[in-house]
Amino acid sequence: MSRFKDQVAVITGASNGIGAASAIALAREGFQVALGARNTEKLADVAQAIEAESGVKPFMMELDVRKEADVKAFVSAVAEKFGRIDVLLNNAGLAKGVTPVIEEEDAENWDQMIDTNVKGLLLMTRETVPHMIKGGNGHVINLGSIAGREAYAGGAVYCATKFAVRAITDALRQELLGQPVRVTTVDPGLVNTGFSVVRLGDQEKADAVYAGLTPLVAEDIADCVVFAATRPKHVNIDAIIVKPTDQAGAGKVARR
């Protein structure tokens, strides 16, 4: 019997990519999982895959992390269903475009990145952590990026949001010092998910990002999430930076 069977993990952006793979991996470890994202059809597919494997039906609910009312309703529903929240994987996030600042015509792209990657993560954290403190156990795992450690041309706003994730992670760890809540950031390089299609707008352009190299896959990041989440309670993994062997930094890749 898993030692995590009574623990509840909330995963944002669980409908695709890293969020979906992490939800499946955490469920495999025995966690009860609560899945949120905007696309409920894809969420239902992920929930079904988890149920088929574990026999346990995950909680799922439509969630736009940019909307405060959605976040409050989602977290209340999870707390009501399970009576506790132990892990929050703040994974929902995106990049829109690789446009230099002075050439960006659509400032809505900036709004979407900032509202999702920063404000959404803050809202989810604010609503969830009090349940962790009340339950005497908690872990906030943020999906950062190497873009939060190294800026690049065309990535000003996306990088700014991920620098912000790192700042929030570090500040939160200090704010929660003395509480039974751990705080981790997992910072990947290139992972082949839906990320580049969302960022660049079509599959062909997305495929070119990974052409000639072996990128990470979502399951590689799920491994990191599970590693952090399954350490003993007294062990806080502050940060995991993980890149493909074919990548040495943002824009520094080996293609064959």
- The set of catalytic residues is 158
Specify the stretch interacting with ligand NAP by CB under 6 A; choose among 16-24, 97-105, 229-237, 243-251: 16-24
| Nearer of residues 134 and 252 to ligand NAP, judged by Cβ | 252
DSSP H or E segment with residue 252: strand 252-253
User: By CB under 6 A, is residue 15 in contact with ligand NAP?
Assistant: yes
Q: Tell me the β-bridge partners of 181.
A: 138
| Nearer of residues 90 and 137 to ligand NAP, judged by Cβ | 90
Return d(Cα 200, Cα 95) in angstroms, integer.
9
Cβ at position 206, least distance to ligand NAP in Å: 10
CB-based contact 158:95 (threshold 8 Å): yes
DSSP state of 58: P
User: By CB under 6 A, is residue 237 in contact with ligand NAP?
Assistant: no
Cβ at position 65, least distance to ligand NAP in Å: 4
Helices (H), the chain: 17-28, 40-54, 68-82, 108-113, 121-135, 156-175, 195-200, 203-209, 218-229
User: By CB under 6 A, is residue 191 in contact with ligand NAP?
Assistant: yes
Cβ at position 139, least distance to ligand NAP in Å: 17
Out of 65, 79, 160, 181, point to the residue binding ligand NAP (CB under 6 A): 65
| Nearer of residues 9 and 135 to ligand NAP, judged by Cβ | 9
User: By CB under 6 A, is residue 63 in contact with ligand NAP?
Assistant: yes
Q: Tell me the β-bridge partners of 82.
A: none
Distances in Å between the alpha carbon of 162 and those of 27, 66, 157, 235, 251?
27, 16, 9, 24, 16
Burial of 108 (0-12, 13-18, 19+ CB in 10 A): exposed
Taking the CB of residue 200, how many other CB atoms lie within 10 A of it? 18
User: By CB under 6 A, is residue 64 in contact with ligand NAP?
Assistant: yes
Site residues for ligand NAP, 126-165, by CB under 6 A, read: 143, 145
| Nearer of residues 176 and 198 to ligand NAP, judged by Cβ | 198
Cβ at position 234, least distance to ligand NAP in Å: 28
| Residues engaged in binding ligand NAP (CB under 6 A) | 12-13, 15-19, 37-39, 42, 63-66, 91-94, 116, 120, 143, 145, 188, 190-191, 193-195, 198, 218
